[in-house]
Amino acid sequence: MMEFSRRRLLQTGGLVGTALLSSGLAGTAFSRIAAAADDPLYAAAKKEGALTLYWGSYEQQTMEAIRDAFKATYPGIEVNLLRQASQTVYTRLRMELQGGVNECDSLGTTNLLHYTELKKVGALAPFEPADAVNLPDAFRGLDPDKMYHVGAISLTSINYAPGKVPTPPASWQALLEDQWHGKITTGSPAFSGDVANWVVAIRRKYGDDFLRAFGKQKPKVGQSNVDTVTDILAGERVVGSGAPFSYTLTQKAAGNPIDVVAPSDDAILNLGVTGILAKAPHPNAARLFTNFLYSKEVSLILQKNYWPTLRKDVAWAEGRSLDKLKWTRNTGDDLGPEVAEGIAKWKEYVR
Amino acid sequence: MSGIRIKNLRKSFGSYTALHGIDLQVPNGTLLALLGPSGCGKSTTLQLLAGFETPTDGEIWADDVLLSSSRGVLPPEKRGISLVFQNYAVWPHKTVAENVAFGLAIRRLPKAELVERLDRALRTVRLEALRDRYPSELSGGQQQRVALARALAVEPRILLLDEPLSNLDAHLREEMRFEIRQVHDLLGITTVYVTHDQSEALVTADRIAVMKSGHLQQLGSPEDIFERPSNAFVATFIGANNELAGRSEGQGAIRVGDRVLTAPDRSGAARGAPVSLCVRPSQVRLSEAGQEAGQEAGAGGPCNVLPGVILRSAYLGEYRDVLVDIGNDQTLRAFVPPVRSYGPGMAVTAHCPVEACQILGPAA
Amino acid sequence: MGVISTESPGRTPGVAARPATARVPLVKAVAVGIVALLLLLLVVQPFGWVLYNSFHDDVSGAWTLGNYARIVQSADLFEPLVNSLILAVATAVIAVGVGVPLAWLVSRTDMPFRRTIRVLTLTAFVTPSFIGATGWILLAAPNSGWLNALWRIIAGAEAGPLLNIYSMAGAIFICGLYTVPYSFTMVSSALDEMAVELEDAATTLGSGTLRTMLSITIPLATPAVIASFILSFIQGLTLFGVPAFLLTPTGIPVVTTKLAEFYQQFPPEIFLAAAYCMPLLLVTAMLFRMRRRILGRKQYVTISGKTRAGRLIRLGGARWPAFFAALLMPLFSVFLPYAALLLVSLTRAWGQGLTWENLSLHWYWWALFGNSETSTAIVNSLVYSTLGATLCVALGTVVAYFVERRVVPGAGILGAVATVPIIVPGIVLSVGFFAAYTRAPLNLYGTPMLLIAAFAATFLPIAYAHGGAILKGIGPELERAARSLGAGEGKAFLSITVPLMGGGLVSGWFLVFIPIIRELSVAVFLITPKTNVMTTLIYNAKDGGNYEAVCAMSVLLLLLTLLLVAAARPLTRLLSARRTSRKAADTAGVFPA
């Protein structure tokens, strides 16, 4: 019975999604709301009346914009947003599960491992967001069982101070040139998931030799990779390795003297993931939100905030797109030990 | 008002025993002075009486109410015992009137009665004019009077005074001594007065309890304590005294060095036991060596005669304070008429009338 | 005892064999019961979970000693402990070495602008250490620091950096700097209450002013000095922001940055983190033992019923030099870093540098109105801090009273319990609170009570230590006088002790309120969307790299707290004015009169 009604809801959701699409890509807010009003999933979510998001993907500002757009599209659902660092969010969720607390509806963090782990203990609920069809093909169907989906795309790259660096390093390898000795800033893989990801990718690519040479460049190691931007803006260092792509562009857009390079030997792509909790107190609202993530509206918000969009049909800011740059993603089922090993090697060679 | 009975009171703090079993009675309406050097246990006794400490053993009774025993204590606030502290403990955040009225307010007296008793207490210590002052604006003597008024206002059954005058200057102290006695005569409250100053005790108290090292040495009237001290410690502690240490040569005789002296024996000691010959300096007479005792020396009864050499002589106007080396590493103090000029190095003979001497045992 | 007649008391019928109220009085039993229960709920239970966790395996959840074994065996885990100890000792030495003389100058002398210095020192206290560290990074980073840039103008472009904040010395400097307010506040409230005669006695013996301070005044304030040393030491052990910002880039690990790693990695090693706190607990317990041995023998009763009029020590020609020396503290802890933060907060994009076009109040507008979370968070921060501080000071003071006056046998245990939370770094404690309050009998998850309880418990040691230091300065005979006049223990405490603690209690309240309002890590797992607080928002902005917003919100947090302190001033005056009509109302420790 339950199974049946959910499938029906899924189908309806899909229908609505297609309806949304066909109703014109430049559909007005009015038409969206009008469409939403007829959505049975919305009706069910509205009955639940609330939605609790535990999110670590996207910074506060972007996340709030997404939340506000959701509230505007689907009035009558109170959204409680808890935005904290991904690992903090995950640790808290784990503790809640242990304590039998069911607060969270939708989880969004930057670490795929969180979801394989949660799936293993049966903490996730399957759902197929209809609008996910618009995702770039590479990121569709992340989990065959539909327990989790792509929630964010982030790129790790090189950033620099344009005024002080006429020709920035064009690749990871170029960072090892003598001219960058004492000029590099980076985050720590022990604190930053993105940097840890970078370490894994770089070791896969170039082995420990790269880390050894990188260490000799005497980089300044902060915590988060966001610290690279701070160091460059402050003038403490001029080139950032393992740097956040979107965030650097945001800072550039704000008028700060900073720019970003997608390395020719691949920007490192990391997927933010999202899933609905099996014991979510507001499952329909969570489904509604998950589907909303793939709406044109959210991708426009992402575009505005210099994030890679979640739709093929919405370009990134300034005409960038995934197709126009070289990127790689760490895949594999056994990333956990590889990350730990990477951190250990980093400590040996870099720190 | 009630009398106090203390039975075999003991108090230990860890391995240190502050009180070794005190028995004491304070009849209703008396002013008892607890007198002794610091560390004698008098303050501990007071804290026990006030109810701030639990006795290790023994009992304290107020008339037929058991106040303290090793099994428990009636808390201080339920005893009807007022305590005046050495450093006054006047509350700096309250005015004089607020300080004095505190205990009355606790008793929830009707307003009219409270005011009346407050005024009476302030009048008793002559502080009416200062009622709205804060303690920091008062002299030490005035603060002491506030403390006294505060203690008296609640009309306690028993009043405890803990070295109340020791923080005052000499002049004020003498004045307050009489004032305390006056207040006692006026109100007749059973009072225990702790002091280390013997003259304070002699002036104010009906009865004096002398203590040392946690033992009660003697309990008696001021005259008893001064005239008939129960042991050498009491004799020395109260008033000026010469104490010549020796051993008992049987009833009425003591060997001091190579001499045997006689005196009324109040030691009850067996032959050979350590005892002392005590004699007040004012009772000792001197004559120049080689001369017979002068007429003043020869007057009245047999004397113990001790030859010696003057070590030090001080002229004090009313008398002369002379210290005589009598051999055997012992000295003797004599207060003699100031007319005679005794100088250091002079050979003299000291005459101690047998009736003025006492053979006493050591402190308990 | 033959001398004394010992007539045995008449055995009249009806005479009780034991004193009428030998049992513990009801009020006292209830009070002790409530305190014990609160401590159990607020401290024992959360800490019990931390302890319990430390003996469990992160992966399997089974009982194990493995966490402890790892700490002992792994050099990787041992080195941070040593670094933390170095940092903590140095922090405590600086805090006491600077804070105590400063307190003396402000409380006891006629140095000019004493009250201003007092307020400015308090301002340093309001500053979360990670904000202070951020400000100092702007000032003293080796390449970009403004002070270093200035130095290069003087010494030539090729000169090396004058200062390098990214070093152990830098971290010690910042930790010390922002811990000085602890020692300053605790010691100055002790000095405010001290009888001036004790100093006069030394002066009449021919002792100079400085000598009197060193040999009489400061030693008399020993309880406060030692308490503040221990607190500063613990601060040095448990601060996260400063080492994370200043030591991580240099590759010097300390316990708190290591703990953060345990939480950051996947899977998180929460139980190992719990075990990793225990060495800190051990060291701190040893400190407290030492304190007892130092203080044990002497008596430090400084206020007695014998009152005095406040009088200041004349510095003579040293007045102004003293003022300029005292000004260094606010200069380093407030003026310089806040100037840097303020400039950043006023730029639209701080990387552009200071131009007219770039100046803007945008980020203040954003923090106050542009961001829907902030207003809720500000209200939450203020409400939780106020209630938390009040609960904390009330409980801490009562526990201190039980301990100082030995109200019940074994009161020392209550004191020891009240001291535990501060030694456990916030993030670990946060897990303890989570475990304790998300299940029966006390399910507070998602409610403001959870944060209030956690905040109160976390800073209970400060309230307790401060309360103890004040109580040590109040002669017990003042209460005993009330007792002997018929007041019960409760009444004597409320009508005599509490008013006498007056100003000290208010300064104690701020000593707790301010750390609560700036506390971050304890809140980490306890906030929910509806119970978010300012610091988590600031940290989110930092996490998002939005430095202009971080700076703007920090400046706002500072202004807000100062405003509150200013608003509380009349209250303090009221409290201490009753003390004497003549004495100025500056006994309040942290306040200008």
pLDDT, one tens digit per residue, over B152-188 is 898 899 999 998 888 777 787 888 888 888 889 988 8
Q: What is the pTM of this model?
A: 0.79
Peptide bond into C267 cis (omega under 30): yes
Q: Tell me what pLDDT residue B144 has.
A: 87
Higher-pLDDT residue of C580 and A68 is: A68
Report the CATH number that the domain containing residue B204 is assigned in CATH: 3.40.50.300
Name the architecture of domain C75-298: Orthogonal Bundle (1.10)
Average pLDDT over residues C544-564: 81
Chain C: closest CA distance from residue B79 (Å): 8
Residue finishing a domain among B161, B193, B227: B227
Question: Least CA distance to C148: which residue of chain A?
Answer: A236
Q: What is the dihedral of CA C173, C175, C181, C186, to 10 degrees?
A: -110
DSSP string covering A110-138, please? S-HHHHHHHHHTT-EE----GGGGGS-GG
Which range has the worst mean pLDDT, A5-14, B310-319, C333-342, C502-511? A5-14
Q: What is the DSSP string of A36-59?
A: HHT-HHHHHHHHH-EEEEEE-SS-
Domain boundary residue among B227, B254, B287? B227
Name the B residues in 161-200 with CB < 8 Å from any C CB: 167
| pLDDT at residue C368, as a whole number | 81
Beta carbons of C351 and C202 less than 8 angstroms apart = no
Rounded to a whole number, what is the distance in Å from the CA of B95 to chain C's nearest CA? 8
Of the candidates B297, B259, B256, the one whose C-alpha atom is nearest the C-alpha of residue B277 is: B256
Burial of C295: CB neighbours in 10 Å, binned 0-12, 13-18, 19+: middle
C477/B89 Cβ within 8 A = yes
- The list of chain A residues with pLDDT below 70 reads 1-37
Side-chain-side CA neighbours of residue C278 (13 Å): 21
Chains C and A touch (3+ CB pairs under 8 A): yes
Question: In the prediction, which pLDDT does C586 show?
Answer: 31
Q: What is the band of B316 on the pLDDT scale with cuts at 50, 70, 90?
A: confident
Same fold, C27-56+344-593 and C75-298: yes
Q: The domain containing residue B329 runs over which residues? A: 232-360
| pLDDT, tens digit, 9 for 90 and up, residues C438-496 | 877 678 888 899 999 999 999 998 899 888 878 877 878 888 889 888 888 888 888 88
Reduced to 3 DSSP states, what percent helix, strand and coil does chain A have, rounded to the nearest 5? 50, 15, 35
Per-residue confidence (pLDDT) for residue C571, from 0 to 100? 63
Is the CB of residue B340 less than 8 Å from the CB of residue B287? no
Task: Flag whether pLDDT at C581 surpasses 80.
Answer: no
Q: How many CB atoms are located within 10 Å of the residue C283 CB?
A: 17
Model pLDDT, residue A90: 92
Q: Which residue has the higher pLDDT, B300 or C222?
A: C222
To the nearest 10°, report the CA torsion of C167, C169, C171, C175.
180
Lowest mean pLDDT among B134-143, C117-126, C191-200, C233-242: C191-200
Residue A126 has a pLDDT of: 96
Q: How far is CA B215 from the centre of its chain?
A: 14
- Interface predicted TM-score of the whole assembly (ipTM), two decimals: 0.79
In a shared domain, residues B182 and B244:
no
**Contact indicator for A51, A107 with CB cutoff of 8 Å:** no
Put simply, the chain C residues between 446 and 505 with a CB less than 8 A from any chain B CB are 475, 477-478, 480-489, 491-492, 495-496, 499-500, 502
Instruction: Give pLDDT, residue B175.
Output: 82
Selecting from C260, C446, C541 the residue whose C-beta is nearest the C-beta of A60 gives: C541
In C413-444, which positions are buried (b, 16+ CB within 10 angstroms) versus exposed (e)?
ebbebbbbbbbbbbbbbbbbbbbbbbeeeeeb
Give domain limits for chain C.
Answer: 27-56+344-593, 75-298
Write the pLDDT tens digit of every residue in C307-329: 444 567 777 788 899 999 999 99
Task: Please give the C-alpha separations between residue B195 and each of B139, B205, B212, C54, in angstroms, as whole numbers.
Answer: 21, 11, 13, 59
Q: Are residues B212 and B312 in the same domain?
A: no
Tally Cβ neighbours within 10 Å of residue A140. 12
The stretch C226-246 carries a mean pLDDT of: 87
Domain end position, chosen among B197, B227, B257: B227
Among A62, A137, A132, residue whose Cα is nearest residue A274: A132
In angstroms, rounded to a whole number, what is the distance separating the alpha carbons of residues C545 and C391?
35
Cβ–Cβ under 8 Å, residues A80 and A52: yes
- Region of poorest pLDDT, from A267-276, C60-69, C496-505: C496-505
Nearest CA to C225 out of C472, C587, C506, C498 is that of: C472
CA distance B360 to B348: 26
- Same structural domain, B211 and B255: no
Rounded to the nearest angstrom, the gap between the alpha carbon of residue C33 and the centroid of all alpha carbons in its chain is 27
Kindly report, as residue ranges, where domains of CATH 3.40.190.10 are found in chain A.
Answer: 2-152+272-320, 154-269+325-349
Q: What one-character DSSP code corresponds to residue C300?
A: -
Read off φ and ψ for residue A166, nearest 5 degrees. Answer: -65, -45
C-beta atoms of B76 and C480 within 8 A: yes
Q: Residue A190: list chain C partners with CB under 8 A.
A: 261, 264-265
pLDDT of C347 reads 86
Q: Which of these ranges, B212-216, B327-331, C540-544, has the smallest mean pLDDT? A: C540-544
Query: What pLDDT shows up at residue A158?
Result: 97
Q: List Cα–Cα distances, B75 to B67, B189, C22, in angstroms.
A: 8, 21, 8
d(CA C235, CA C171): 12
| Candidates C245, C261, C349; nearest CB to A190 | C261
Confidence of residue C235 (pLDDT cuts 50, 70, 90): confident
Contact B177, B209 (CB under 8 A): no
Write down which chains contact chain A via at least 3 CB pairs under 8 A.
C
Q: How confident is the model at residue C515 (pLDDT cuts 50, 70, 90)?
A: confident
Q: Domain C27-56+344-593 is of which CATH architecture?
A: Orthogonal Bundle (1.10)
State pLDDT tens for residues B37-58.
Answer: 988 888 899 989 998 888 999 9
Based on the fold, state whether residues B217 and B260 are members of the same structural domain.
no
* CA A267 – CA A327 distance, rounded (Å): 5
Residue B65 C-beta-side C-alpha neighbours within 13 Å: 16
Beta bridge partners of B351: B285, B305
State whether residue C95 is helix, strand or coil.
helix
The class of domain A154-269+325-349 in CATH terms is: alpha beta
The predicted model gives C115-121 an average pLDDT of: 84
DSSP state of A302: H
Q: For chain B, what is the domain count? A: 2
pLDDT tens digits for C26-53?
777 888 899 999 999 999 999 999 999 9
Q: What confidence score (pLDDT) does residue C82 get? A: 93
CB-based contact A130:A14 (threshold 8 Å)? yes
Residues C462, C231: Cα–Cα separation, whole Å? 8
Weakest-pLDDT range from B109-113, C54-58, C507-511: C507-511
Closest Cβ opposite residue C477 in set B59, B79, B85:
B85
Residue C89 has pLDDT above 60, yes or no: yes
Tokens of A326: 């070289």
- Rounded Cα distance, C505 and C575, in Å: 10
Is A11 within 8 Å of chain C by CB?
no
Tens of pLDDT, residue by residue over C350-372, are 777 777 778 888 888 888 887 77
Please provide the distance, in angstroms rounded to a whole number, between the alpha carbons at the two ends of chain A: 58
Using one digit for the tens of pLDDT, what is the confidence trace for C392-411? 999 999 999 999 887 788 88
Structure tokens at A106: 């939708």
How close, in Å, is residue B275 to chain C by CA atoms? Answer: 18
Q: How confident is the model at residue C60 (pLDDT cuts 50, 70, 90)?
A: confident
Best C60, C264, C358 residue to mutate vs chain A (most A CBs within 10 Å): C264
Q: Are residues B89 and B197 in the same domain?
A: yes
Q: What is the pLDDT of residue C204?
A: 60
Closest CA to A114 of A293, A338, A336: A336
Query: Between the CA of residue C139 and those of A227, C332, C341, C344, C356, what are the distances in Å?
Result: 16, 10, 10, 12, 21
Average pLDDT score over residue span B299-313: 84
Whole-number Cα distances in Å, C49 to C44, C52, C64, C261, C275: 8, 5, 15, 21, 11
Q: Are A236 and A222 in contact (CB under 8 A)?
A: no
Q: Which among C76, C266, C541 has CB closest to A111?
A: C266
Helix or strand holding residue B326 (H, E):
none
Average pLDDT over residues C54-76: 89
Mean pLDDT of C549-578: 73
Homologous superfamily (CATH) for A2-152+272-320:
Periplasmic binding protein-like II (3.40.190.10)
My answer on whether B180 and B313 are in the same domain is: no
Judge whether B224 is closer than 8 Å to chain C, CB to CB: no
Among candidate residues C122, B310, C267, B98, the one with its CA nearest the CA of residue A90: C267
Q: How far is CA C294 from the centre of its chain?
A: 22
Exposed / middle / buried, residue B317 (Cβ in 10 Å: 0-12, 13-18, 19+): exposed
pLDDT band at C69 (very low <50, low <70, confident <90, very high): very high
Residue B5: list chain C partners with CB under 8 A.
7, 9
Tell whether the model's pLDDT for residue C578 goes beyond 80.
Answer: no
Whether the link from the prior residue into C441 is cis, omega within 30° of 0, is yes
**Higher-confidence position of A146 and B140:** A146
